[in-house]
Structure formats: structure tokens, C-alpha cells
């Protein structure tokens, strides 16, 4: 809906590429956590290596798949590239003996749920009535949470002004 409101019909084609790209950003956020450790440990060559490997995979898949499936597939190859980069940086940090720096199960949970939500969103594009019901439920929950924690929210807003 935001894409339609802000871009109109001329950007309708971008609708199918947005969920995988948003999910790719989740992978990017998580792999950055591992990159920070690699940089702190002065192992930036591992960061460069994982970047080159994932870029080669991304470009190669784009070269092979875009002529067959169109530009939309580039969002999926980007997502796959970020998945590879996240995995390689995780393996790199783990190989340094740092197995428990982060709650990896939590990270995997975030990434799996983001990926599932991505594909759910793609399916919901074709089922508008369910999509609108979910939006209404989400907005109602948002207002409920804001109302329940209104004192805390107001306290934070007052601190922002000072």
C-alpha cells in the first residue's frame, strides 16, 4: 500500500522485489555483528573474503538467472548473497574460538522468521482481504500497546524535548 501511495502504478513492479530485499537487510544487520568482531580482532581479510565470495555468487546468479526470470530474480540473488555472507562471517568468528559471543539461536530465529514473513508477504499480495485484516489487527495491537504503556512513552517523549 505504501508503494502504491508513494509511487503510484508506475512502481507496481517493485512490489515483488521488496520483501526479499527487506529480508536481505535483516541478514545484513546480523552479519554486521560478526564483522564488528572480525574488525576488532584485526581479521579484516576475512571480511573481504566473505564479501568477494558473496559478490561473485550474486553476480554469477544474476548473470545466469536474470535472462530467464527477469529483473525480479535479482532481489532473490541479493538475498542469497547476504545469506552466504552472514554464514561465512559467522563461521569466521566461530573459527576464532568465539562460539558464544552472541545468542546465535536468537539470530537464527530472527532470520528464519524474517524469511518466512517475506514469503508470507508475497502470498498476501494476492489475498487483499486477509492482508487488510492483518493490518487492522496490527494497528489495533499497536494502539493497545501504546495505551498500556502510555506513561512510559510520554516519559520518553518528554526526555526527547529536553
pTM of the model: 0.76
pLDDT digits (tens, 9 = 90+) for 39-81: 999 998 989 999 999 999 999 999 999 999 999 899 999 999 9
User: Minimal CA–CA distance to 76: which of 55, 89, 64, 62?
Assistant: 62
Q: How far apart are the first and last CA of the chain?
A: 36
> Residues near 65 by Cβ (< 8 Å), separated by ≥ 6?
73, 77
Taking the CB of residue 134, how many other CB atoms lie within 10 A of it? Answer: 14
Q: Residues 1-20: pLDDT tens digits?
A: 666 677 777 777 777 888 89
Amino acid at each position: 500500500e505504501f508503494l502504491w501511495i508513494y509511487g503510484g502504478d508506475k512502481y507496481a513492479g517493485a512490489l515483488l522485489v521488496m520483501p526479499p530485499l527487506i529480508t536481505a537487510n535483516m541478514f545484513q544487520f546480523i552479519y554486521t555483528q560478526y564483522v564488528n568482531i572480525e574488525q576488532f580482532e584485526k581479521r579484516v581479510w576475512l571480511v573481504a573474503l566473505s564479501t568477494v565470495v558473496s559478490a561473485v555468487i550474486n553476480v554469477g546468479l544474476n548473470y545466469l538467472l536474470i535472462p530467464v526470470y527477469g529483473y525480479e530474480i535479482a532481489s532473490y540473488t541479493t538475498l542469497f548473497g547476504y545469506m552466504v555472507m552472514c554464514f561465512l562471517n559467522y563461521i569466521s568468528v566461530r573459527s576464532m574460538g568465539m562460539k558464544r559471543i552472541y545468542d546465535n539461536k536468537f539470530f537464527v530465529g530472527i532470520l528464519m522468521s524474517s524469511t518466512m514473513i517475506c514469503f508470507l508477504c508475497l502470498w498476501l499480495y494476492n489475498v487483499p482481504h486477509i492482508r487488510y485484516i492483518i493490518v487492522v489487527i496490527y494497528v489495533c495491537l499497536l494502539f493497545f500497546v501504546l495505551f498500556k504503556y502510555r506513561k512510559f512513552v510520554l516519559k520518553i517523549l518528554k526526555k526527547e524535548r529536553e
